[in-house]
Amino acid sequence: MQNKKASYEGLQSSIRSLKTPKIDVFKNQYSDKDYIVSLDMPEFSCICPKTGLPDFAVIKIDYSPDKYCVELKSFKMYTIFYRNLGIFHENVINKITDDFVNAVSPRWVKISGVFNPRGGITTSVVREYQGE
């Protein structure tokens, strides 16, 4: 029997342009202060694009708001969008970071995802953004 390599080519080629739900914000009444907001999402889920099986993760966001803060209900709806989406772990964190930065324009943000073991391997992905 011939052993063929599994191909991941093209599975995520349009992920950067993926249309996701809008993340709402509200005006930060303390924009003159430096402080950190932490969001923990212990029940994040998406779909493995290769197997079609669910992936579960804890997503953590730490950010320093500037003019705006993230509105939590809209952000929850944003994360629910991923439940039926086939996406690699690395792409999840990068896409969430891109969308979060575009909506909130924080001074700084760190977004991490710790994905439950798959085949005995736990995947952790972290991305930081430093505002301009």
Given 32, 34, 40, 48, the catalytic residue: 48
Q: Where are the alpha helices (DSSP H) in 9-104?
A: 72-80, 89-104
Contacts of 117 (CB under 8 A, 6+ apart): none
Give catalytic status of residue 69 as yes or no: no
Residue type, 57: A
Given 32, 34, 46, 55, the catalytic residue: 55
How many whole angstroms from its chain centre is CA 82?
A: 9
Give catalytic status of residue 48 as yes or no: yes
Max distance between CA atoms of the chain, in angstroms, equals 66
Catalytic sites, residue numbers: 48, 55
